């Protein structure tokens, strides 16, 4: 009886996990479909906006030409600027096309914001999933700051030996991150990004942030 109940509990847990996975896949699929539709709509709007700008420019050119033709002997190249400035701003066709351009631009701004929001949501979800997987595996990311009187300051990174279960991924110096090499010289104020097992990273953080000469703990 106990074994049967245990099997039933495992089945329920497995089914719940499968249901969650299916829901996550469905949510990602829906988001991908929404993004595809929004991008297609944005592409169509770009095309309509280009046509509207061409129509606007053609209307301005036609009005300027008609003004130049009515003015007599002045050449088009010599008077083009004055002709364009003389185009009546209250021309009904210009007003109509300008309104079209304004509406298309507003719709494009809205679509761009919606696409950015969906991309951000997808990025945050991916980041949360990754962090959850790392935590489940017992891995973490920590930042150690090299102090002012650090015995490691002005020493090459090759001389710094964190544990085998912790690696130095990045160094942030004066706000600028970069991937270090073994010849990279550590400086006070450097933010050293560590990655590895939680225990090893904690120990390495203590080691990097010390302010007096001491040997690396034997447990590391």
Given 101, 135, 169, the domain boundary residue is: 135
- pTM for this prediction: 0.41
Q: What is the pLDDT of residues 126-159, one digit of tens each?
A: 655 666 666 666 778 888 899 888 888 888 988 8
Do residue 14 and residue 79 come from a single domain? yes
Q: Is the dihedral of CA 27, 28, 34, 38 positive or negative?
A: positive
Question: Rounded to an integer, what distance in angstroms lies between the CA atom of residue 171 and that of residue 175?
Answer: 10
How far apart are alpha carbons 192 and 17 in whole angstroms?
Answer: 37
pLDDT tens figures, 86-106: 567 778 888 888 888 888 888
Residue 204: both structure tokens together? 């390495």
Domain finish residue from 82, 107, 135: 135
What range defines the domain where residue 163 resides? 139-208
CATH number assigned to the domain comprising residue 162: 3.30.70.1450
Specify the number of domains making up the chain: 2
């Amino acid at each position: 009886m106990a074994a049967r109940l245990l099997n039933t509990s495992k089945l329920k847990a497995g089914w719940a996990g499968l249901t969650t996975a299916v829901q996550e896949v469905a949510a990602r699929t829906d988001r991908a479909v929404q993004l595809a539709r929004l991008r297609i709509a944005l592409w169509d709007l770009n095309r309509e906006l280009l046509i509207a700008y061409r129509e606007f420019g053609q209307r301005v050119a036609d009005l300027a030409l008609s003004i130049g033709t009515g003015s007599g002997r002045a050449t088009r190249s010599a008077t083009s600027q004055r002709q364009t400035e003389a185009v009546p701003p209250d021309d009904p066709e210009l007003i109509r096309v300008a309104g079209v351009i304004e509406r298309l631009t507003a719709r494009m701004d809205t679509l761009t914001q919606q696409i950015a929001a969906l991309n951000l949501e997808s990025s945050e979800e991916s980041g949360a999933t990754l962090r959850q997987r790392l935590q489940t595996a017992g891995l973490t990311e920590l930042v150690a700051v090299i102090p002012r009187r650090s015995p490691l300051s002005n020493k090459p990174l090759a001389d710094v030996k964190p544990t085998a279960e912790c690696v130095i991924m990045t160094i942030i110096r004066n706000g600028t991150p970069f991937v270090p090499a073994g010849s990279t010289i550590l400086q006070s104020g450097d933010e050293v990004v560590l990655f590895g097992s939680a225990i090893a990273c904690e120990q390495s953080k203590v080691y990097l942030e010390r302010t007096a000469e001491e040997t690396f703990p034997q447990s590391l």
